[in-house]
Amino acid sequence: MIEEKRLLRFARQLDTQALAQIYDIYSPALYRYAVRYLGDAMLAEDCVAETFSRFLHALSNGGGPKKHLQAYLYRIAHNWIIDHYRKNDRTESSIDLGKEVSPRLDEDLLEDAVFSDEAARVRNALLRLTDDQQQVIILKFLEGWSNKQVAEALGKPIGAVKSLQHRGLGALRRALELQDVK
């Protein structure tokens, strides 16, 4: 936490070493977060690039986070993802599951195909949740954040995070069950 405050203090002065260190620390996790939401590595790279571009723009205009840098960056990334889906009016996964698969696939490729299919199902189900529910589920279960960290990122009380988690998991279960029925 002290390190984050120090980095943020230097970043506010547009210190290139501090900015590079912030990028090195946070970009891998932001990339994983974006890939889980988007299901597309190239889009995830765009999301991370735009996240840091917006962060730098905010700093250069005297804005940016006062504290909780990680939460601030995740909020920018989440907003970019939501904007992306709104612009593209997408409800389907970016993975093309209709491609023909060769019957001679080895076991690893077959396992990857099954995982991709399952990941696409979960991504599609996640899209049916509210923005806050999506963020709570992804940060808690995929990124391994604590309730306190999620609460700070969303700017909500811990009780609200627990409620969003409970409702989000229920809605996710129902969405996956509906996919199974189809």
Q: What is the pLDDT of residue 31?
A: 94
Query: What is the token pair recorded at 15?
Result: 């210190």
Which residues contact residue 156 at a Cβ distance below 8 angstroms, ignoring those fewer than 6 apart?
132, 164
Q: What is the pLDDT of residue 116?
A: 65
Q: Shortest CA distance to 1 belongs to which of 29, 37, 25?
A: 25
Please check the confidence at residue 162 and state whether its pLDDT lies above 60: yes
Domain 1-91, what fold?
Rna Polymerase Sigma Factor; Chain: A (1.10.1740)
Instruction: Give the residue carrying structure tokens 């996710």.
Output: 172
Asked if the domains 1-91 and 98-182 are classified in one and the same CATH topology, the answer is no
Q: Which CATH number fits domain 98-182: 3.30.2350.10, 2.60.40.10, 1.10.10.10, 3.40.50.300?
A: 1.10.10.10
Check if the beta carbon of residue 59 is closer than 8 Å to that of residue 12. yes
Percent of the chain with pLDDT over 70: 82
Q: What is the pLDDT of residue 155?
A: 84
Please, what is the average pLDDT of the chain?
82
Cα 151 to its chain centre, rounded Å, is 15
Q: What is the pLDDT of residue 164?
A: 94
Which residues contact residue 20 at a Cβ distance below 8 angstroms, ignoring those fewer than 6 apart?
none
What pLDDT, in 10s, does the model give residues 89-111?
Answer: 644 444 333 333 333 334 444 44
Ranked by mean pLDDT, the top range of 80-94, 115-129, 138-152 is 138-152
Task: Please tell me the distance from the alpha carbon of residue 36 to that of residue 76, in angstroms, as a whole number.
Answer: 16
Q: What is the pLDDT of residue 122?
A: 81
Query: What is the token pair recorded at 42?
Result: 């190239």
Tell me, what DSSP letter sits at residue 13? Answer: T
What average pLDDT does the segment 17-44 reach?
A: 91
Q: What is the pLDDT of residue 89?
A: 63
Task: Please tell me the distance from the alpha carbon of residue 54 to that of residue 61, in angstroms, as a whole number.
Answer: 11
Please check the confidence at residue 28 and state whether its pLDDT lies above 90: yes
Q: Shortest CA distance to 1 belongs to which of 81, 85, 70?
A: 70
* Through-space distance between the first and last CA atoms of the chain, rounded to whole angstroms: 47
Ranked by mean pLDDT, the top range of 55-59, 64-68, 137-141 is 55-59
> Residue ranges of the domains in the chain?
1-91, 98-182
